[in-house]
Amino acid sequence: MKRIVFLAVVLAALMAQATVTPLYLDETAPLEQRIDDLLPRLTLDEKLAIIHAQSKFSSAGVPRLGIPTFWTDDGPHGVRPDVLWDEWEQAGATNDSCVAFPALTCLAATWNPAMAHRYGVALGEEARYRGKDMILGPGVNIYRTPLNGRNFEYMGEDPYLASIMVVPYVQGLQSQGVAACVKHYALNNNELFRHTTNVIIDDRALHEIYLPAFKAAVQQGHAWGIMGAYNLYKNIHNCHNPYLLNDILKRDWGFDGVVVSDWGGAHDTEQAIRYGLDLEFGTWTNGLSEGARNAYDNYYLALPYKRLIEQGKYTTRELDEKVRRVLRLFMRTTLRDYRPRGSMCSADHYDAARTIAGEGIVLLQNKGGVLPIDTRRVRRVLVVGENAIKMMTVGGGSSSLKVQREVLPLDGLKARLQRDGIEVDYARGYVGDTTGAYNGVTTGQNLVDHRTPAQLIDDAVSKARQADAVVFFGGLNKSNHQDAEEYDREDYGLPYGQNEVIEALAKANKNLVVVNISGNAVAMPWRDRVPAIVQGWFIGSEAGNALADVLVGDVNPSGKLPFTWPERLQDVGAHAVGDYPGTKRTGEDIWDEEYREGLYVGYRWVDKAKTRPAFAFGHGLSYTTFTLGKAVVSSNHITAADSLTVTVPVTNTGSCAGAEVVQLYVRDVKSSMPRPAKELKGFKKVYLQPGQTAQVSITIGRDALSYYDDTRHQWVAEPGDFELLLGTASDRLPVKAKFTLE
C-alpha cells in the first residue's frame, strides 16, 4: 500500500511539473532570465545548428524545445517569392505574390518619417502573412557615386536624412513581430568588386558620414538585426570585422541583436568566432558559389567550429555569446506567443504604395507651367519610351519581386486621361532591354521590336507633331550595369540612345515632359531644351497610377532629392579626388579603394569644390509656391547641455494645396578642424492650403553642432558662433539666424 501511495505522489509531482511552463516560454518573465533558462538546455550540436543556415533563407530551430525554424526573406521593397531549399530559383508557389513598395530612394525623397513608418508596418504585415521572421533590409549605405548599381535600395547621400528615415521604418516593421536586418554594414558603396574591395577611410568620414544611419537604427530604432557587408575594412571582411562589429557596433553602440552575414560574406572560421559574426547565411560550401549542394554543415560556424571546440582551441564562451544573441532574436520573434497575423496584397498596402510614391516623386523642372497636364485644354497626349511599358519589379538583384500586379506608366496615365476624354497614343522611341526574368520569375512581357533606332525616332517624332503634349518615360532599368546588384553603371549617360530621342522630341513638340525612371542621377545634356522633368524612381506596384496622379495634378508633387544630381561625373568627389573603384594589389585579388574626398560627399563636395549641380540635394518643385518668413531662435546663447529651437513661418502663396519641406542646415563659423560649409541637421514637412501660414519649429541639440575628433575618438562641440540656414533646398537657403555655443 505504501508503495502505491509513493508512486501516486511521484506521478502527481511529475504531472504537476509537466504542466509548469518553462521559464524561457514565459513572456511575462524578464528577457535575459528567459535566455539564462534556455541556454543551458541546449546541446553543443543544437547551439551550433542555430547560428548558421540550414537552407537558402532559414536557420534551424530546436524542435525538442519547441523552438521553430527561423525564416528570413529579402526586402527591402517587398517580400521576395519563396525559393528552393538550396537555390536562388523560385519554388514555383502560386500564393507568394506581393505588393511592391517604392524603392528606398523614393521613400527617402518623401522627407517624411510618417511615410517610413507606414512603409515598415505594411511590409511587416506582408512578411507576417507569409511566415517570415526577418526582412533583410532596410539598406542605408551612403550614395557616394551615381555609378553604384544598388543606390536605388538606399536612402541617399546625407547621414542625417538617412538616420531620420530609417528609424520609423525599423520600428514599423518590428511592430509586426518581424525583425529588421539593416544592411550593409558598412562602407558598401559600390557593387563593382564588392567582395574584394578594401576601403581605406579616415575615422572622421567613417563616423560622420557612413555610420550615423546604422547607429540611429540601432540606438533609436532598436533594430534586432544588422547585416555585415561583403567588402573589407582595415583588410578584414566586414562580416567578421573586430573594429566595426565588436568595438563600434556591440561595445560603443550597445547593440544587443544579431549580426547576420551577407550571403557568402563569411570567409574564415576563427575570425567569425572572435570578430562578431552571430548568424551565418549563404549557399554552397563556400557560402556563395561553389561546392556541394546542401553543404550547410560545412559552413564556417558549423562543423569547422565544432572541431575547434573539440580540439580544445576554443571553449564555448564565444559560442554561448552568439547563441544568447540568437535566442534573444527568437524571443522577439518566433518565441512570442502573439504576433499580428499580418495581411497580404490588401487595399491598404496598395494605398500605402501609391501614397508613398506620390510623396516621393520629384518635380525637377517645370518651365512655362507645362505640368500639370491641363485636362481642360489638352486633347491628345503622346506617350513615348520603353520605360512606359516595361515592368520594373522583376530584376535588379535580391530586391527582385513577384508582384500580384504592377500598373505600368502608360496604362496608369491612359486610364486617368481617358476619364477626361483625352486621346492617348504611344510610340516606342527606343529599344533597351527586352528581357524580363530573374531567378525564375518572369514578367510575361514580349518587348521585342526590330525597327532601327532611326525608324523608332521617326515614328515618335511624327506622332509628337500631332499631339498637344508629349510624355517621355525613360531612364534606367534593372538590367546589368544599370540599377542592379553586383554591377555598377559603366558611365553616367542614359543608355539605348535615349538622348537622341529626347532631342528629337524637344524639336517636334514644345510641351515635352521627360519622366526619368531610375534610382540614380543621370546625365541630361538636353536639360535646357526640355520644359518639364520629373524624377519617377522605381515605385513598385502602383507606379502607373502614382505617376499619373502627379502628372495631371491630382497629387501636388512634394518630393525632394535625397542626393545631389551632378552635371558631370567629374563633379562628384569620389570621381574628382577619390579612388573609385580602387586599385588592384599586385598579385592579390584585393582592390584598395581610398575615400580621399573624406567628409565631402554630395552637397558637401559641391560647397567645397564650388561646382554647380544640375539639381541640388533637397531640390524639388511644387505646383504651388511657398515663402519663408523671418526665423526666431529660442536663445542666442546656449551651452552644450541645452537644445535650441528655431521657428520660421511658412506660407502657401500659390493657388492650390501642397506640401513643402523646411530644411535646416548648420554652419560652424569658425572651427579648429576642417568642416563642411553646412550640414543638414533638421527638416520638417508641412501641408498647407492656399494662403495658409504655419509656424514650423525645428529643435537641435549638441549632436547637431558636433564633429568627430579622431584623435580623442569622441564627438566634440566646440564653443563659438554658429549659423542656421533655412530654406527649401541645399542651394536655396534664404533665411539665416545666428547663435553662440558657450
Question: Where do the structural domains in the chain lie, given as residue ranges?
Answer: 1-41, 44-77+96-332, 360-571, 625-742
pLDDT at residue 663, as a whole number: 98
Q: How do strand 532-535 and strand 512-517 relate by DSSP bridges?
A: parallel
Beta-carbon contacts of residue 356 (< 8 Å; ≥ 6 apart): 101, 102, 106, 107, 110, 115, 118, 119, 539
Sequence-distant (6+) residues with CB within 8 A of 218 are 182, 226, 249, 253, 254, 255, 257
614: left (phi over 0), alpha (psi -120 to 50) or beta: alpha
**Residue 262 appears among annotated catalytic residues:** yes
DSSP 128: H
Q: What is the DSSP letter of 207?
A: I
Contact (CB, 8 A) for 535 and 348? no
The total number of residues written for the chain in this structure:
742
Residue of 729, 665, 656 whose CA lies nearest to 687: 656
pLDDT digits (tens, 9 = 90+) for 166-221: 999 999 999 999 999 999 999 999 999 999 999 999 999 999 999 999 999 999 99
- Classify residue 712 as exposed, middle or buried by CB count within 10 Å of its CB (0-12, 13-18, 19+): exposed
Catalytic residue among 262, 483, 549, 607: 262
CA pair distance 391, 407, nearest whole angstrom: 8
Which option is the CATH number for 360-571: 3.20.20.70, 3.40.50.2300, 3.40.50.1700, 3.40.50.300? 3.40.50.1700
Question: What cell was used for 202?
Answer: 579616415
Provide the pLDDT for residue 291.
Answer: 63
- pLDDT of 11 reads 45
Low pLDDT (below 50) residues in the chain: 2, 5-18
Q: Give per-residue burial for 601-610: e unless 16+ CB within 10 Å, then b.
A: bbbbbbbbee
Please provide residue 403's backbone torsions phi and psi, each rounded to the nearest 5 degrees. Answer: -95, 155
SS3 666: strand
- Mark out the alpha helices in 244-294 (DSSP H runs): 269-274
Topology of 625-742 in CATH? Immunoglobulin-like (2.60.40)
CATH number, domain 44-77+96-332: 3.20.20.300
Question: Same CATH fold, 625-742 and 360-571?
Answer: no
- Residue pLDDT, tens place only, 574-620: 999 989 999 999 999 999 999 999 999 999 999 999 999 999 999 99
CB atoms within 10 A of CB 202: 15
Alpha helices (H) in 378-495, listed in sequence order: 409-418, 453-464
Report the C-alpha gap between 103 and 401 in whole angstroms.
Answer: 12
* pLDDT score at 7: 47
What is the spatial distance between Cα 615 and Cα 604, in angstroms, rounded to a whole number? 14
Please work out, in degrees rounded to the nearest 5, the angle formed at the alpha carbon of residue 433 by the alpha carbons of 430 and 438: 155
